[in-house]
Chains A and B, each alone.
Chain A
Amino acid sequence: MRSVSKHRGALRRGRACAIALALLLGSSGGAAAEEFRIGGTGSALGTMQLLAAEFTAANPDIRITTVPSLGSGGGVKAVVAGAIGLAATSRPISERERKLGAVEVEYARTPFVFAISTKSKVTAITSSELAAIYAGKKVTWPDGSPVRIVLRPASDIDTEMVKRISPDIRRALAAAEARPGVRFSVNDQDAADDLERIPGAIGPSSLAVIASEKRALRALKLDGREPTPANAASGAYPYHKRLFLVTGARRSAVVERFVAFVRSPAGRKVLDSNGQWVP
């Protein structure tokens, strides 16, 4: 009971701070409603929407819009150019981006997973099975249904992460990319859509996407390890994506407030409950 009340207390405190901050900002910004847009990596978009909803509920004068996935690079570019207020990326910014004025802050991590539709009975996979699937040697699931692979573009961070799992997988993936008729999903949402939609499809995703967007996808145990944030945080599950918030050199107060909110216990709570952990 005590812990609950403590927790509630912390929540109440956070909320009060937020409201106070909002009031402050609102008063400094005048009576007109302020808005900004969040874009960038698809892995973060669902979570950003939840955070934005939470945030705007406390700050009704602020309107936040999440734009469809621009990818990490596109997001950085857009935030530097001022086309959006805040970018979420799944990689740290590059030196060149930094020189353009981009500023990053890591706000969460999420297990990098292989996902499959919840309609499937498959719950686990091994890296050798993955290699066989990408090599085209394993073409059916145990129930006899065909295996279909969903790939990401070669330059995407997800493709790079898959390749890192093992040299076999790296080789097999190169072969898979050359096969005709293989599905390439341009961003995380497309990939999640395809995995949900295509029977027997398997492909990379993140627990953040699955949880925040309430996807009908199952994150598979890999080599016998459960892809939970706890396992990932402990290193028992070795694959995870780092998530950053990036702003341009000139950032508005509301963005600052939103960033603060994300890093606040309230924001952290949202992250925790959506397959992410704060490092």
Chain B
Amino acid sequence: MSASAESGIVPIVRRLALAFALTVTVTLPAGYFGLDYWNHVEHVELSARLKAEGLTALVAANPELWIYQLRRLEELLLRYPPQLTDDRAIIRDAAGNALITLGASPPAPVLVRAFPIYDSGRLVGRVEITHSIRDLVLGTLAAGLLGLLLGALVYATLLVLPLRALRRVTVALDRETAALRASEARFRTVAQTAADAIVTYDAVGNVVGWNAAAEKIFGYPAAEVIGRPLTLLIPQQYQDGGPGSMNGAPAGGERRIFGKPVERQGRTRSGSEFPLELALSEWESPEGKFFTGIIRDITERKNHELRISRLNRTLAVLSGINSAIVRISDRQELFTAACRIAVEHGNFDMAWIGLVDLAAQEVTPAAWAGVETGEFLGGVKTRIRDDVPAGRGVLARAIRAGKPVFENDMTVEPHIGGTRRQDAIRRGYRSHIVLPLTVEGGVVASLSLFAKEAGFFNEDEIRLLTELADDISFALEHMAKQDRIAKLSRIRAVSSGINAAIVRIRDREELFQEACRIVVEHGNFVMAWIGMLDKAAPSIRPVARAGRDEGYLDALNLSIDSNITGNMALAAEAVAGRAPVVCNDIEADGRMRPWRTAALERGYRSVAQLPLVLEQRAVGVFALYAGEPGIFDEEELKLLVEMAGDVSFALEHMSKEERLNYLAYYDALTGLPNRALFVDRTNQRMRARGGERRMVALILLDLERFRNINETLGRGAGDGLLRQVAARLAGAVEESDVLAHVGGDQFAIATRRAERGEDVAHILDQTVTRALSQSFEIGRDQLRIAARTGVAVYPTDGADAEGLLRNAEAALNDAKKTGHRYLFYAPQMNARVAEQLRLENELRKAVAGEQFLLHYQPRFEIATKRIVGLEALIRWRHPERGIVSPADFIPLLEETGMILEVGRWALRRAAMDHAAWCTAGFKPPRIAVNVSQVQLRRKDFVDCVKDSLAAVDRAAERIDIEITESMLMEDVGGSIEKLKAVQSLGLNVAVDDFGTGYSSLNYLARLPINSLKIDRSFIIQMNKGPEQMAIVSTVISLARALNLKVVAEGVETEEQANLLRLLRCDEAQGYLYARPMPPDAIAGLLPRN
């Protein structure tokens, strides 16, 4: 913007600012005054009106004398709103005389408003309010001042800010104009001095601009080219505006090249072509449309790019092959990958790798890639001897030199080399390189690369390819090492596995079998077998085998008859020669001819036969068959021989051990374990079950009069007797017991079957007594033998077997001295066992002599106190001790099984007593008889019940049975079946002691029962607390819910009876009602018919 424009704008801005400022200055006080004045007016008018209305009301009430009611007038003025505050109020009569005046005259200026007072429509006076508006005037003046200030501020702001901005814009514009001019000058200089050609042409395609660089690049001076067509600079073939054209605009179809550099071909004055980079832009001026191209000669860059691209290609191959090396562990796979990568990533037309056999001076193709490579190679080996034409070719030379050899144009010397080279030339290949691949310094393979492009290889490329060959060589070397390590590891794994088996296994056959299995499974051998020499045959007899045999061994002739060595199997050869025999290539080895086909069919490729040597003699052979040829090299064989040596050692050791072991632990005479083994095994029994201190009883028995037999009938008779006793004892003890002949005429038994002293007594009966009960035949004599026994018990009598044995010996000595048949080491044990046995004896007599009797305890219906049942309770009337409590003898009856008999008796007795009362004219209720767990457990329980009651007429109507809850829970399923059967006989079933057995509600519902008897413990406790009461209440509710009768047992107090009645318990039994009493006494309580 120019200064004149600026001077035109300034007055406008100034006028606008003034207008705004004046508006602000005037509006503020005027607005203030206007708004507030009306407030004042309204106030005064309202005041006058309201007061006048009040006065008009007073006048109406007292029209004559109201003007004298001065007090009222005053009150009206004062009390009628609004308050007068600073105002003055005057009441005037019609003539205008002031009747009353309130308040001083307010300061001027004032606002006066009057409102008329009427008497029935006649004006009788008026109220006049005088109100000062001095504040309003002062406020307006203040607002005016403020307005003036604001106006000045607005004026300053509106005037200064836009002018300042205007000035800034002007300065910036001036600066830009100057910069534009400088830039224009610079641009011109740049264009002339630029390294790139800048060519401008018009819409018809004639050159109009040409800088120095253009002259240099194209060779035309400006004078020569200006005004001439652009096609001068474009090769003929690109002049049609085709894709290569530099000419964008005239052709019209290349607008797409604007704005981005494109590569094209250019033509110099001399006519040579060169690559160029063109950036074309289009612009317009008043003279018309123009195009400017910035052109750069990129010949050098293109050459560089080509080189980089080739190197990149080779690097891609190198990187691809290196990644394959890392990934691939198989040689063949690596070769294939290398060839494929060379062709796919390296742009070679053909790549192949040959395995070099230096000995045979041959190269065999192993892997290749490229469209026609397979056909080219034809699977044919290349000979590299220098006396054949091929031996002078690139391949042979490279292998011999151990260095890469290349040619960049094979056509230069078309006649050297073999036919394959001629073929390559014919197929159009021009560049060729061979890279030897080495392992440990020796060439093992060659990598050949072909390209149809001539001059493919330069120094950089050769360097990279050499690196590539080194990398592949490194990988090959690594693979060879890995193979070797794997092979040895495999053998070591086998060896270690077999050694572990040797340590672990004591059985020869098992060891052989395990060794074969390890060889196959851990050693990856196809098959393994072990054979033992059968001297009688003489041949080798296979004793263990594993892996893929499929009848191979059976077909093998394993004879070692020296007469037929010509056909001797390698195994036999190994045994005969006591040296390993190896065949590393079954396919080629002549010795394997007779079995080759069978072996190859089963996948065997190599085999090693290792003799097993015992005490310098070959006693067998260990044969290993591998799936690969050449597996057994020197090092491996050494390991395998060591392994066979270990097996041989084990074999030898076992032979010795077997003999020693037997002698050490067994008594040669009886074949029973000797004292040492007895101690060992007894200790094992003690330690059994993870430290659980279960009782182990050690019984030591001594045959009486044995010395006499030895002395009178001779030692042979004595030995015979001992053998027979041993056999009988062995037949009498159980498998878990340990029986031993511990010396002389003493035998020992260790058993874990006993839980108490009495059990030992029973075991003694079952074993020793039974074994010696029959006479022994010694020659023609029949001998009866007795024995004394000493017993020691773990853990009370000793902490180990030795200690127990010592104490059992002490007990035995006591028994011998005192004449006891057996004695325990602990005296109190003797007493207890004696007592138990005595009781047992007496019980047997009691059963036989019917010393048992039944007492009956009545059961009452709580509501009616009527007898509704009797419970039969067994008592033992001991001839000396009187009545014995059932708690003292029932457990023993159950242990000895006598309970079965007593149980049957009880059922029968109860039925008979019931029948007797009936006959006597009483009306007895049913009798409940308790059934023992031992009875219920028996399969024939139902039959027993039936049989027991068979003797009494209609017994099923007289008798119920009671079983405890815990009995039921022991075998719920079985109990259900049996109880159902019992119920079907007509007997009711009650569950006794209910509440103590943790019945599952689920079972309870399924059980075939008729009533529940709540255990006395709950009844006794029920009034002791709410929880106990809750239990009883719950059981009663439960029984009711299941439709069962519920009986409370052990009711002893009235309080209990009352509570039970309240809880709606059906029946009760206990001392409160009646004690158990003999049948005669019961009769007195029974109702009569």
A: which residues have CB within 8 A of B? 39, 67-71, 73-75, 77-78, 81, 83-84, 153, 155-156, 184, 186-187
Contacts and interface: CB of A to CB of B under 8 A. Distances in A.
A71 B67 CA distance: 12
A83 B71 contact: no
Nearest to A75: B68
B74 A70 contact: no
Contacts of B79: 184
Interface in B44-85: 62, 64-65, 67-72, 74-75, 79
A155 B69 contact: no
A153 B62 contact: no
B69 A70 contact: yes
Dominant SS among interface residues on chain A: loop
24 contacts: A39-B65, A67-B65, A68-B62, A68-B65, A69-B69, A70-B65, A70-B68, A70-B70, A71-B69, A71-B71, A73-B70, A73-B71, A74-B65, A74-B69, A74-B70, A75-B68, A77-B70, A83-B65, A84-B65, A153-B71, A153-B74, A153-B75, A155-B71, A156-B71
Nearest to B61: A68
A7 B75 CA distance: 47
10 closest cross-chain pairs (CB), A and B:
A74-B68, A78-B68, A71-B71, A70-B68, A74-B70, A73-B70, A77-B68, A186-B75, A186-B71, A186-B72
Given A39-B68, A77-B70, A186-B72, 12 more contacts: A67-B65, A68-B62, A68-B65, A69-B69, A71-B69, A74-B65, A77-B68, A83-B68, A153-B74, A153-B75, A187-B71, A187-B72
A156 B78 CA distance: 14
A74 B69 CA distance: 5
Contacts of B70: 70-71, 73-74, 77
Contacts of B75: 153, 184, 186
A68 B71 CA distance: 12
Nearest to B79: A184
Interface in B933-969: none
A40 to B, nearest CB: 9
B64 A83 contact: yes
A273 B62 CA distance: 32
B440 to A, nearest CB: 123
Contacts of B69: 69-71, 74
B59 to A, nearest CB: 14
Contacts of A83: 64-65, 68
A186 B74 CA distance: 10
A81 B70 CA distance: 14
A78 B65 CA distance: 8
Contacts of B71: 71, 73-74, 153, 155-156, 186-187
Contacts of A74: 65, 68-71
A67 B68 CA distance: 11
A153 B65 CA distance: 20
A71 B75 CA distance: 13
Nearest to A68: B62
A184 B75 CA distance: 9
Nearest to A76: B68
B529 to A, nearest CB: 128
A83 B75 CA distance: 22
Contact of A155 (B64, B67, B74): B74
Contacts of A187: 71-72
A56 to B, nearest CB: 21
A12 B562 CA distance: 203
Contacts of B65: 39, 67-68, 70, 74, 78, 83-84
Contacts of A73: 70-71
Nearest to A73: B70
Interface string B226-252: 000000000000000000000000000
Contacts of A156: 71
A73 B69 CA distance: 8
Contacts of A84: 65
A258 to B, nearest CB: 19
B365 to A, nearest CB: 126
A78 B64 CA distance: 10
Nearest to B62: A68
Contacts of B72: 186-187
A66 to B, nearest CB: 12
Contacts of A77: 67-68, 70
A183 to B, nearest CB: 12
A91 to B, nearest CB: 13
Nearest to A78: B68
B1070 to A, nearest CB: 76
Contacts of B68: 39, 70, 74-75, 77-78, 81, 83
B64 to A, nearest CB: 7
Contacts of A71: 69-71
Contacts of B62: 68
A194 to B, nearest CB: 14
A45 to B, nearest CB: 13
A155 B74 CA distance: 9
B1079 to A, nearest CB: 95
Contacts of A68: 62, 65
Nearest to A80: B68
A203 to B, nearest CB: 16
A68 B68 CA distance: 11
A73 B75 CA distance: 14
A92 to B, nearest CB: 17
Contacts of A69: 69
A248 to B, nearest CB: 13
Nearest to A152: B71
B301 to A, nearest CB: 105
A74 B67 CA distance: 8
